Amino acid sequence: MKRIYFLILIAAVLTSLYSCEKEDKLRDESVVTIQKVYQNDLDKWIYENLTKPYNVEIKYKWDANEITNKFRVTPPSMEKTKEFLEAYLNLWIKPYEEESKAGGNPDFLYKYMPKLIVLVGTPAYNEDGTATMGLAEGGRKVTIFDIDNFGFADIKPTDTPDKVLQKKRNVLYRAFHVLHHEFAHIMHQTKFYPDEFKEISKVDYTARWMDLNDAEAQTKGCITPYSLSNENEDFVEIVAGMIDRSRYSNVPYTTEWPLKDAKGEFTNKMGNITGSEWEHFLYSYMLDYKFDEKWNMVYFRAPEATVGYHKFLHKVDIVTSYYKEKWGVDLYSLQKRIDKAITSFVK
């Protein structure tokens, strides 16, 4: 039996040696097939302006693998895709790029910006009646919905030039709220913010946030009702809300507001207050009024509003410090850069 095994082994070795020495003649034509992909003008623009310099992949054509089956949505039009991406480059990428370089962290944007942007034409409606406008997944992918409604449809022929500019600015701020929000998710998923933040409104978070209005949310120290869904949404809504209200950061505007006394209490005297839109928002946070016995208008914050106001200021301090210390990004400086970029873009 051992002799038979030995003979079989010898035969196998000789056969393998013969096979190694024998060279098959290769065919002249390649057996590898490469599928040619048609690139339209938009594809070429995306490659030259986004993919090549920033290593960002943009998906706007239909790909069922990128969208969860619970949403019934459609792909965006090429026209709206181009409009959105031009704004995305000039109003989102470039201000972050400039700010990170100025803050001594030039690799910040290239390293952490989402590398895959999926654009969807329609909103993604949820079973509870709300709509999902954006999703961030795994620190790499961001999905933006409702692209087909991007634009300036509410501008009327009778609008003055100043009114047109104002409407355009409003559209752009609203459109990029989602992207600032989702990018902030990537930030805190990469480097955790202080646990102190989670405790400030811990007892106020609720799954029924959609039943509340802005005033009710602000009473609890949150900038929007959605902030009340959980601490992470609370954190990123502050970031997006700061940038949403960056108008007039370069040229502060003046409006008439009630003045404060030496103790910081509001008086019934009115005066001109100068600042950015964000500064005016903080100044007037939960501001209410009543009439005294002489029918003078008296401004004040109710006790619960005052509690919410101080909660919110505490959160803002934590958020701005986190961005400065962890990422070298000054959110107030970023406000000015985005304000400048939008002013230039709409003109």
| Domain residue limits, the chain | 40-162, 255-299
For residue 220, pLDDT beyond 90:
yes
- Report d(CA 102, CA 330) in Å as an integer: 9
Name which residue leads in pLDDT, 178 or 231: 231
| Ramachandran category for residue 146: left, alpha or beta (phi over 0 → left; psi -120 to 50 → alpha) | left
Residue pair 201/224 in contact by the 8 Å Cβ criterion: no
Q: What are the tens digits of pLDDT across the range 74-116?
A: 899 999 999 999 999 999 999 999 999 998 888 888 888 889 9
Residue pair 235/193 in contact by the 8 Å Cβ criterion: yes
Question: Mean pLDDT over residues 111-136, rounded?
Answer: 85
For residue 269, pLDDT beyond 60:
yes
CA dist list (Å): 253 to 165, 248, 268: 16, 6, 22
- Report d(CA 10, CA 30) in Å as an integer: 37
Average pLDDT, the chain: 86
Please name the helix (run of DSSP H) or strand (run of DSSP E) that holds residue 119, with its range, or none. Answer: strand 116-119
134-137 and 288-291: which strand pairing?
A: unpaired
Burial annotation 86-107 (CB, 10 A radius, 16+ → b, else e):
ebbbebbbebbbbbbeebebee
Share of the chain above pLDDT 70, in %: 88
Residue found by looking up tokens 């030259």 in the block: 48
Residue 24's pLDDT is: 57
Length of the chain: 347
Question: Mean pLDDT over residues 300-317, rounded?
Answer: 95
Name the pTM for this structure.
0.81
